[in-house]
Structure 1
Amino acid sequence: MSYVEVARPHDAVAVVTLNRPERMNAMSFDVMVPFRDALLEVGADVGVRAVVVTGAGKGFCSGADQESAGIPPGLEGLPPPAYALRAMQLLEDVVLTLRRLPQPVIAAVNGAAIGGGLCLALACDLRLAAPAAYFRAAGINNGLTASELGLSFLLPRAIGSTRAADLMLTGRDLGAEEAERIGLVSSLHDDVVAAAVETGARIARLSQPGIELTKKSLQAGMAASSLEAHLTSEGLGQLYLRLLTDNFEEATFARKEGREPEFRDRR
């Protein structure tokens, strides 16, 4: 059985599904290693313009698998401290892979996103949710720290420091409606995967380098030390596409002619 499935419901949109529903798609290494590999594969496909990540069954991802975590590849023979460090680095690499993909990644959160599953959703560029979805920073409930896999970096940037502290220090569940209200997800949908694919198809109609540079700029903006420093990088991105493509002229003509622009991304 494959624990990760990849589908192409739209020519330019790939859907990567965590497929271990009996464990609510928990983060065993048997799931996370092929998940990372699938992300790298679709990321390298120039025909893929957007990526949707979701989970099979009732859960998006329930976090660490506490019953059958599996064995990370290539770590046999390491002493326990080194083994633990390498295993954690592998999971961190999954989060970084989501961030580094050139395409925008849309989380279609169909159910529970708990602990590391919340981190996976936050690592995506956009988040849509089903009405039954809920989110939990679970580490604190397990006698650990709630900070894991970038959660203390990503969550405050998504919903603000005060709301992030509320979730991380109490370990309470955040339902889908509240998640939409505070901006953790952009919208709720009964068929959240179909809505995410539709969003991906809309992205695919836009300029490919424009979208990729916008993703990079959003991430750089969150990490920027000052507005002054960030303004320069934004301006260079605009100049880059203005000089090397005729996209701006095409958009102008399309508006005058009452049609959708067809961006060639070249001159």
Structure 2
Amino acid sequence: MAWRHFDYEEEAGVATVTFSRPERLNSLTFEIYADLERLTAELKGRLSDIRVVVLRGRGRGFCSGGDVEETIGELLKLDTRGVYEFARMTGACTRNLRELPQPVISSVNGIAAGAGAVLAAASDLRLLAESASFRFLFTKVGISGGDMGICWLLPRLVGLGRAAEILLLGDRISSAEALAMGLANRVVPDQELDALVAEYAGRLQEVAPWGLAMTKEMLNRAGSLDYSAAIEMEAWTQTMLMTAQDFREFHAGFTGKRKPVFTGR
């Protein structure tokens, strides 16, 4: 499967998207957003063969956000309806990442700014090189700090007070600061990042894929429910999974003293 506006590969159940404009710090264009929306929509139906999705950037950065000339400059030429349609498309990219049944890992090296920072925040796991940094710089360019769902995502990662400071001021967040506030899951020396991502991808493939998918579903929905409703939703979900094949496979592997082979059934 070829995608024109970023590099894409599938290997051993892992789909890797690599933003590949290193000379522009992997800034995003209309075409990149559109391809990313289409790809993530397609991957929703491929849990049987794609178990993990990885986002990464080529060169010195993960993704520096919308390209000043090819995105921001072009937006100035659009009318209100055109800008709205663009904003909905970019929001669909992060919505799709959250709704993917597969866990999503962002492998963040260097800068993750603007939309790049939001894409990382929308991932399930953020693994950082020491060189990594975040900047949610929307107010710095004259627009709202709320973009692509970040006002929903960020408070759930770092708390409302911290999220307010980050989005209002748009200041740089180092990898160490990101780890301390819960925005990063792990930080390692730059040369160890690829190995760490491969380790996490391997570990995620050892557990039940439908179990992972429904864990994401619970995390997405629970925040909008009261406690009793969340318990009820989890009860129905567990009932479904406890009558599925993977739960039986766990028991068969345990009693047979072998490693279970989960298939997402």
Residue-by-residue CA offset, 1:23-68 (whole Å, 9 max, x unaligned): 1111211221122223334443330011001111111111121112
Shift of 1:142: 2.0
Q: Once the two structures are aligned, what percentage of the paired residues are identical? A: 32
Question: Runs of 5+ in structure 1 lacking a partner?
Answer: 73-77
- Quick check: 1:59–1:111 contact (8 Å CA) kept in 2? yes
**Aligned pair count?**
259
Match of 1:35, SS state, is: helix
Q: Residue 67 of structure 2 corresponds to which residue in structure 1?
A: 65
Partner of 1:209: 210
Q: CA deviation at 1:259?
A: 4.3
Q: Which residue of 2 aligns with 1:199?
A: 200
Q: Which residue of 1 aligns with 2:140?
A: 141
User: In the alignment, what sits opposite 1:36?
Assistant: 37
Per-residue CA deviation, residues 185-214 of structure 1 (Å, 9 max, x unaligned), is: 110133324322321221112112111111
CA contact (8 A) 1:24 1:57 kept: yes
Residue 155 (structure 1) shift: 0.5
SS at match of 1:188: strand
CA contact (8 A) 2:17 2:56 kept: yes
| Corresponding position of 2:239 | 239
The alpha-carbon distance between structure 1 residues 79 and 135, as it changes in their structure 2 partners (threshold 3 A), is: closer
Measure, in 1, the Cα distance between the counterparts of 2:263 and 2:34. Answer: 36
What are the within-5 Å matches in structure 2 for residues 83-232 of structure 1? 83-189=82-188, 190=190, 191-222=192-223, 224-232=224-232
Q: 1:56 aligns with which of 34, 55, 58?
A: 58
Please say if residues 25 and 61 of structure 1, whose CA atoms lie closer than 8 Å, have aligned partners that are also in contact.
Answer: yes
Corresponding residue for residue 75 of structure 1:
none
Tell me the alpha carbon deviations over residues 126-157 of structure 1, each in whole angstroms, 9 at most, x when there is no partner: 11111111011101222332221111111011
- In structure 2, give the amino acid aligned to 1:230: A
Consecutive unaligned residues in structure 2, runs of 5 or more: none
Query: When the two structures are superposed, what TM-score results if normalisation uses the length of structure 2?
Result: 0.88
Relative to structure 1, the CA distance from residue 212 to residue 71 in structure 2 (aligned partners, 3 Å threshold; closer, same or farther) is farther
TM-score, normalised relative to structure 1: 0.88
SS of residue in 2 equivalent to 1:67: helix
Q: Does the Cα contact within 8 Å between 2:137 and 2:169 map onto a contact in 1?
A: no
Aligned CA RMSD, in angstroms, stands at 2.4
Mapped to 1, the partners of 2:45 and 2:241 lie a distance apart of 22
Match of 2:5 among 3, 6, 11: 3
The CA distance in 1 between the partners of 2:214 and 2:89, in whole Å, is 27
Change (3 A) 1:120 1:265: closer
**Local SS of the residue matching 2:70:** coil
- d(CA) in 1 for partners of 2:151, 2:264: 37
Tell me if the contact between 1:6 and 1:38 (Cα under 8 Å) persists in the aligned partners: no
